[in-house]
Structure formats: C-alpha cells, structure tokens
Chain A
C-alpha cells in the first residue's frame, strides 16, 4: 500500500516537474511560457474548465498572429484539483521553474493559500475569483469589486423595480459571507428590507429555508450563492409555488448553470447582472471593444460549440493583461505588476479595466447589464442600469 502511494507520488511529482521544465522562456528563447493553474478537476472543475477555454482562445489568437516579437506563447497548464494543498505545491513548482506570471487559480479556496508563496517568489498572479482579498504587490484578481457586483448593482435594480423586501438565500461559506457583507451596506443605503436564510453549498433541497422565507412574503429572492446552487433555489421556488422573481448571484451567471436551470425557471423568472459577452448580440453599436467581444464570442462557439460566458472572459482578460505588459517590455513578475497597476484603461472581453492602482488590484469596472435566464439555456438582455 505504502509502496503504491509512494509510486503515485513519484509519478505525480515527475509529471509536474516535466510540465514545468523550462518555463519563463525556453532554452532557445523562441517561446514565452506562462503558468496557468486552474481547477480542472475536483469540485470547482466546472469553473476551471471554462477558464481554460478563455486562455486557449487568447493563445490561439496571439500565436496565429505570430506571437510577441516572434516568440510564441506556451502555456504551462497545471491542474490544482480544486485542492488548496495541491495549489500551493504547484505554485511552488511553477515559481521554481521561473514562470513570471500565473493565470489562476480558479476560486477563493485555492487563490488565498497560494498568495503568500507567490508574493515571496515575486510571481505575478491573476486570481480568477471574485472574492475579497488583501492586495499584495504581485497579486491581482478578476471580476468587478464584490461590494459593487454582489451588493450595489443588484440592489439598485431591486430598488428601481420597486422590489423593496429582499430575501437572501446564502450558502454557509465564504461565498455566502461575501454576498452578505456586500448586501448589508447596499440595502441600508437604498432603504431596502433584507432577510437572510443560509444553507450548505450543494444541499439537495432548500425547501425548508424557502418555507421560512415564504412567511415573510418578500418581493425578491436573491440567490446569494455560486454555481449550480441557483438550480436548487429555483426548484425549491417551484415546489413551493413562490411567484417572486429571483436574482442570481454573480457566481451563477454562466453557461453551465444557464443550461442546468433552463427547465426549472420559477414563475417570476431569474435575473442577473451580466457582461456583454453573455449577450453579445444585444451590445449597443457604440460599446467599446464591440468588435473584439463579438469576435471572441464567434471564436468560442466555433472552437467549443457552446455559448461563451464571463468566466472564460475573465481568464482571457487576465492573460491579455499579462501579454500587454510583456509587449510593453515587462520581463519579471514585478514589472508585469507595475505595468498592470499603471493601466488607465484596457478594453477586455469581460469589460473595461480602468480602476487598477496601488490599492486596488481588481480593475474591472462592471457594465450594469441586467439579463434574464431563458428556457433555452441562454441569456436575454433586459436593460442597462444608468
């Protein structure tokens, strides 16, 4: 038994070592190697696999255009298996192989643990989680600021729609805590009434929580959770005949969840804050980067046979920011970080990055695009908030 485990460990270590050999720039200097650490297996695999698609599309495009200064981009993909321990191990491996930038990890549970290590090693890291972090010089993250995307914009939409009593169904984890932290101040500022029920992510049913919610007769149910927890909430709404609209948390706005929930839409519909990449056909003519977003959507459909969503765009934009820095002459993790901090406006696929500075390493300014989930597993444009 012990010998078997040892053999597996050895094989695992050798494969990581083989994957990581010669990163940064290869021996003859013809490629630029970028670490890409995602959760491609394990509980967060749905996100990680979509992130990988975004990275692949950018690499395909850049390499087919001849690379950067004649050097092709060579990603070093490693799978952290949604495990914090494995993520730290792989980050150490990538850092020791002189990778200057890492795209990923995919979620808060792996992003947080690698932060001290990559900071010590001076590797630029672009975490793809929307959770709240303490910023350090080399540590950046995707998605809009949580207080805005999880609290301010959804509650502005609720207030504008006359939905004054909001019931938040939050998961009992850091993701749920993030929503609650953001919602408290937003509801107080806008004079909305907020009640909260909690459940464990992945629970088979939330009917008990919804039975309690029903007695309060709220105007809006806010699914304060990530991923497919939205499907459980939607099914519970149908089971109890609740007519209210549901607002989906940002972490549920993606193609996997849209497909999973399409047969279980509650009577009041499901709404969400999205990006133009979720509804590229509804983009206004004067939208910055309109052509690039539509091209990305078309390339995504061609390559993967599915509709794109913001998760893949987050990863694509992270890599594009790194490549922008390398084009500008950045050669180390520190130089990439300094370049990204200095960006005043960068038009990405998920939106415009215009708020990077020393104190804020999350640069995406959210478009206030409100969409509705459809019975075909897609998103339908509703309105853009002012």
Chain B
C-alpha cells in the first residue's frame, strides 16, 4: 500500500506539471485554433529565468515567481504579435510549422542566455522529505500541488466571472460574433498566448527545484501537455483530467509493469483515444439506426 501511495504522490507531481502546460494548449487552441508547439518552451524559459532572478539576482522567491511569470507572459504576447499575427492569413499546416519553428528559436534563445547545461534551483523550503502514512513527501511537491490548485481556481474565476475572461470565451465560441460586440479577437489571442506562456513559466518555476531543466526539454514536456489536452477533448477540466490519466498511466506502468514501457503506454493511450474519437460518429449513427429500427418494429 505504501508503495502504491508513493507512486501516487509521484504521479500527482507529474500531473500538476502537465496540467499547467495542457491548459496553455487548450487556451490558445480555443481562442485561435492554433496548435502552439512552443508551449513547452515557456516552461523551460520560465524555469531557467526563475533561477536567474531568484538565485543569481537574489530576489525573494515569491517576487521572483511573479517577475518570472510576468516576463515570460510578455514573451508569449510578443511571440503572437511578432511571429503569428503577421501569418494570420496562412491556413492549413503552416501555423503548426510556424510554432514548431518558434519552439526551436525559443530553445536556442534559452541556450544562448542560460548555456547548454541543465539548471536547477534550491527547494523553496528544505529538500529533506517527511513521512506521512508511510509516504515520503517533499515540501516542494506540496507547494507545486497547491500552486496548481490555486491557479485553476483563479482561471475558473477569470473565465467565469470577469469581462476579459468572458470576452476570451466569446472569441473561442464565435470570433465573428465577438467582433460584432466590439471584442478584438487579435487582442484576445495575444492575451491567450500571454496567459499560456505565464502558465508554462509558473510550472517551470515550481518544477525546477524538483527536477533539472535544460534548454532542450521543451518539446518533450510540451508533447505531454498536448496529449493531455487531446485526451481531455480540448476542455479545461478535461485537460486536467487528461494530465492526471497520462501521469497515472506513466507512473503505475513504470512502477508495476516496467519502466521501459511507461512512454509507450501513454502514447498508446493517445492512439486509442484518437481512434475512438474518429470512430465515434459512425458508432453513434449505427446506434441511432438500430434504435430507429426497433421503434419502427415496435
């Protein structure tokens, strides 16, 4: 049992990180229908920038987190304005390739600014674990879990209760309708990029004391966020649930079957979900036909 709970604690930490990235994917996709492959890069830049601000400049951790999120969010806004907005007329696969290029550019920028070696940061509190019910936990992991919960609460309030949040949702549902009521989809899209980048930065700042981050890590974690978003059918709550499923699949597979299979399992899960989604309309049509036939017979 203790082993299961230990695995669950590891899965929870992974799920929190992925869910923040996945939320960024969903946000940008809903507002602009762009698949932003640079989403993982914002986690990397956030983590590395946090080390510079808190460790190198000696800024207190809470302020360093705020500064990191604000700075990386501005990078996100700039990415949209400088790179994506000029290409807004381009359709098809081109925007995906543009964001892929953006991911590589951001990676190289990170390498130039912070060097090729992975960086890590001291834990916000002690790194020594403490035991609860046979499970060893670190304060940093609990901080990450709490921060993720708080972030989702804030996002729920912003999207549900504020004008700006409702404007973004309006753009997601009907850009043309949003324009008619005076909302600028272009501005909302830039804002979505800023918030998504800020979420990535937040994940990076909380993760880097637990795990070293290097400039080349962006695509891998970004891909996990994408898979969680797909598993969650591109909804916010779904993406968080998708992150939990993905993290649980990876962790329990590594723990109970073999660590060699952990990546294969969550990628296989993605394939199953995509196939199921593709087959769903046909299944629904056939079920409907069967029901109709029964009604006629009756």
Interface residues of A (CB under 8 A from B): 1, 41-43, 45-46, 48-49, 172, 197-200, 202, 204-205, 207-209, 211-212, 215, 227-228, 231-232, 235, 238-241, 256-257, 259-260, 263-264
Enumerate B106-150 residues with CB–CB distance to A below 8 Å: 108, 111, 115-120, 122, 127-129, 136, 138, 141
Given contacts A172-B260, A204-B211, A209-B259, A235 and B217 within 8 Å (CB-CB): no
B212 touches A240 (CB 8 A): no
Q: How many residues on B have C-beta within 8 angstroms of the other chain's C-beta atoms?
A: 43
What chain B residues lie within 8 Å of A231 (beta carbons)? 118, 120, 212
B117 touches A215 (CB 8 A): no
A232 touches B260 (CB 8 A): no
What chain A residues lie within 8 Å of B6 (beta carbons)? 207, 211, 240
Interface string of B226-261 (1 = CB under 8 A from A): 000000000000000000000000010011001110
CA–CA, A259 and B262, complex, Å: 30
The 7 A-B pairs at the shortest CB distance, nearest first, are namely A45-B116, A256-B117, A204-B211, A228-B118, A46-B116, A207-B10, A208-B254
Which single member of B9, B116, B118 contacts A49 (CB below 8 Å)?
A: B116
Interface residues of B (CB under 8 A from A): 3, 6-7, 9-10, 13-14, 17, 90, 94, 97, 108, 111, 115-120, 122, 127-129, 136, 138, 141, 207, 210-212, 214, 216-217, 220-221, 251, 254-255, 258-260, 262-263
What chain B residues lie within 8 Å of A199 (beta carbons)? 254, 259, 262
Which single member of A45, A211, A232, A256 contacts B211 (CB below 8 Å)?
A: A232
B254 touches A260 (CB 8 A): no
B99 → A minimal CB distance (Å):
14
What chain A residues lie within 8 Å of B210 (beta carbons)? 204-205, 235, 239
Given contacts A198-B260, A200-B263, A227-B118, 8 further A-B contacts (CB under 8 A): A42-B216, A207-B10, A208-B255, A239-B210, A240-B6, A240-B129, A241-B136, A260-B119
Given contacts A209-B259, A228-B212, A263-B120, A238 and B254 within 8 Å (CB-CB): no
A-B contact pairs, 6 of them (CB 8 A): A1-B90, A172-B260, A211-B6, A228-B212, A240-B6, A260-B212
Which single member of B90, B127, B251 contacts A264 (CB below 8 Å)?
A: B127
CA–CA, A124 and B117, complex, Å: 30
What chain A residues lie within 8 Å of B10 (beta carbons)? 205, 207-208, 211
- The number of A-B residue pairs with CB atoms under 8 Å apart is 109
B201 → A minimal CB distance (Å):
16
A248 → B minimal CB distance (Å):
14
B117 touches A209 (CB 8 A): no
The secondary-structure label for the interface of chain B is helix
A42 → B minimal CB distance (Å):
7
Given contacts A232-B212, A240-B129, A211 and B119 within 8 Å (CB-CB): no
CA–CA, A13 and B115, complex, Å: 26
Given contacts A202-B216, A259-B117, A197 and B207 within 8 Å (CB-CB): no
B116 touches A260 (CB 8 A): no
Residue of B nearest to A172 (CB): B260
CA–CA, A366 and B20, complex, Å: 47
CA–CA, A227 and B214, complex, Å: 11
CA–CA, A209 and B211, complex, Å: 15
Which single member of A46, A208, A241, A256 contacts B259 (CB below 8 Å)?
A: A208
A204 touches B259 (CB 8 A): no
B50 → A minimal CB distance (Å):
15
What chain B residues lie within 8 Å of A205 (beta carbons)? 10, 13-14, 210-211
B24 → A minimal CB distance (Å):
17
B275 → A minimal CB distance (Å):
24
Residue of B nearest to A207 (CB): B10
What chain B residues lie within 8 Å of A241 (beta carbons)? 128-129, 136
